[in-house]
Structure 1
Amino acid sequence: RLGTDYVDLYQLHHPDPSTPMDESLRALDDIVRAGKARYVGCSNYFAYQIARALGRSEHLGLARFDCVQPRYNLLFRQVERELFPLCAEEGLGVIPYNPIAGGLLSGKHRREAGPMAGTRFTHPTAGARYRDRYWRERELETVEALRPLATEAGMSMTQMAVAWVLENPVVTAPIVGASRPEQLDDALAAVDKGLDESLKAHLDELTREYRWGDDIR
């Protein structure tokens, strides 16, 4: 269906506790050597798991991870503590998902009205996961505090959220989800707008507490 006999990037979506790591790494190496993928990576791995995988790949002479795909946004910053420094040290690309927190950082949801219909927060299968991740009092209060900052900067909330992710020098490119073309246009405008230093510092401080937490995936 893709009309190609290879993919540019092939990733492990999350660690498989039932499969030895070496077996997974050998499978990726086979795919690269067969010319079926140019690069390989992983998503939702802890920093220690990535470090171990890199070490095993080097020891066994296998294709190693080229990039990682973590969850990262203004409301979820735990990966800055260990995973991002590891990626910088090892030269791994970083392509974060959820840069607008499943749409919460777009500003379209209102706490008093509840999650909007037809969004990730009301999806029949993923909705419960997204509500558990983000539809909490602390996160909702933070979103309300972000609204005037975006207005003052002349940006949409989506643009501000994506621009903030792009400001991190470790980030290669965020993965932006969109259900309509205009949503994609809005997010892509963040590339040209950027953030000035004072706004970046304000956002960093406002969301500093989100660097800490138990769940880092």
Structure 2
Amino acid sequence: MEYTKLGRSGLEVSRLCLGTMGFGTPGEWIHDWVIDEDASREVVKTALDAGINFFDTADVYSRGGSERILGKHLKDMADRDEIVLATKVNGRMHDGPNGEGLSRKHIMSAIDASLERLGTDYVDLYIVHRWDYTTPIEETMEALNDVVRSGRARYIGASAMFAWQFLEALHVSEQHGWSKFISMQNHYNLLYREEEREMLPLCRAKGIGVTPYSPLAAGRLARDWNSTSQRAESDFVARQKYDSTQETDHRIVDAVGQVAESHRATRAQVALAWLLAQEPVASPLIGATKPSHITSALPALELELTAEDRALLQEHYVPHQVVGPQ
């Protein structure tokens, strides 16, 4: 396994991160393709055996189920001091006007609830899941700073927002001497490259580590265009992201297949190798629900794409509607 600093921080993370949105109880949340505690145990063990030290979850994943499962497995199998554990805040966790968002009240309640579910005294990275249009950013950043100062989080990060919003948050932190975001977890892959316009240049300029989610476009980059999967059939969130651009996206998927064949690699390895080479990507999230999803991704760390490969993979991309920040 390779490791890298997350942005300009001193935090060392594996170049692949295990994303655990797929951990939970089938039928309990919006996704029915999730795996339960028993099935997920081997996935976490495989990740640890591969040298992955970076694990990502969120309070809303299976309504806390992902945090409970991941926390239990890591407590049983890992050295906490070497694990980089990330979770997120913003999504609705209970009924009522204070059950979601980035107010001071919700953040302080949410971090305590996440720590209890995870079975730990702190998280290494506490991420705002989306922008909160109803709470002043000053209130949010001060609350996050207090979470760090209290020892309940070591660092803070952000996910899926517009570049102007991210810059505003960074500026407010700088003004007040508060903890600043060290990472951006955004929607970025060969089928969705809108982040290259504003967000990635901003992250490069500010020394922010990028940890893209959906690196394989919910599996679309990992298989032939005409094949399918259980997730492809049932994941309506992914369908909302990608179905409208199928007419152009299939050309990119075909190009991934061509490059994979030329390198005797898998499509997933090619898509990941391309992403890992993009600056300032630190660690893409691998949403594994099978141990093989991890073991098959590892060769991407050593796969070197040529300039011709990259040109072929990128030439068919056309502008897409923005998906993620809203």
- Residue of 157, 160, 182 corresponding to 2:292: 182
1:97 maps to 213
SS of equivalent to 1:184 = helix
- Residue of 139, 143, 146 corresponding to 2:256: 146
1:158 maps to 268
Percent of aligned positions that are identical: 38
Displacement of 1:204 in angstroms is: 2.5
1:214 maps to 321
For structure 2, list consecutive stretches of 5 or more residues without a partner in the other structure: 1-116
Letter in 2 for 1:137: E
Displacement of 1:86 in angstroms is: 0.4
8 A Cα contact 2:189 2:214, kept in partner: yes
2:175 maps to 59
1:15 maps to 131
Query: Higher helix proportion, which one?
Result: 1
Letter in 1 for 2:134: S
Q: TM-score, normalised by structure 1?
A: 0.89
| Number of residue pairs matched by the alignment | 206
8 A Cα contact 1:79 1:216, kept in partner: no
SS of equivalent to 2:118 = coil
8 A Cα contact 1:13 1:44, kept in partner: yes
SS of equivalent to 2:127 = strand
- What is the CA–CA distance in structure 2 between the aligned matches of 1:173 and 1:160, rounded to whole Å? 15
1:130 maps to 238
SS of equivalent to 1:193 = coil
8 A Cα contact 2:148 2:155, kept in partner: yes
**Structure 1 vs Structure 2 CA RMSD:** 1.6
- What is the CA–CA distance in structure 2 between the aligned matches of 1:201 and 1:141, rounded to whole Å? 13
Letter in 2 for 1:128: F
- Residue of 140, 143, 153 corresponding to 1:37: 153
For structure 1, list consecutive stretches of 5 or more residues without a partner in the other structure: none
Displacement of 1:57 in angstroms is: 0.9
Displacement of 1:216 in angstroms is: 4.7
8 A Cα contact 1:10 1:40, kept in partner: yes
- What is the CA–CA distance in structure 2 between the aligned matches of 1:17 and 1:52, rounded to whole Å? 13
- What is the CA–CA distance in structure 2 between the aligned matches of 1:171 and 1:36, rounded to whole Å? 26
8 A Cα contact 2:256 2:271, kept in partner: no
Displacement of 1:109 in angstroms is: 5.3
Displacement of 1:80 in angstroms is: 0.7
Displacement of 1:142 in angstroms is: 2.6
Displacement of 1:213 in angstroms is: 3.0
Matched, 1:201 2:311: yes
Displacement of 1:137 in angstroms is: 2.4
2:188 maps to 72
